[in-house]
Structure 1
Amino acid sequence: MYRGWPVSDALEKFTAAGGVDISVYSRPGMSKNTTRYPLTWQQLSSATPTLTITTDGNTITVGGSAGIAQNIGAVIEGERYVYAATPTDTAASAAAGLAALIPGASVAGAVITVPGVQQVAVAAFGTVSSEVRREWQEIQVIIWAPTPDVRDAVSGVLDLALAQIPWLQLSDGTTARLLYRGQRTDDLPQKAALWRRDLNYGVEFGVSAQQKAAEMMFSPAVSVSSTF
Structure 2
Amino acid sequence: MMQETEQMREARQALQMLSASDPAASANMLRYVTAYALMLSGRRGRDRKGNEPQFGAGFVLMHGDERLCAAAARRSGTDYIYIAFDVDDASAPPVAAGVFHRQGDEMYAYGNCRLWSPADDGRAILVPTGPGEHIGYFAFQQGRPLKLVEAPLPGDAQAGFRRAETRMQRLLGSGVVRAVHGQGYLHVLQSRDGEIYADSFKAAA
So what's the TM-score if we normalise by structure 2? 0.22
Q: Which has the higher contact order (CA 8 A, sep 6+)?
A: 1
Of Structure 1 and Structure 2, the greater helix share is in 2
Q: Which has the larger radius of gyration?
A: 1
Query: TM-score, normalized by length of structure 1?
Result: 0.20
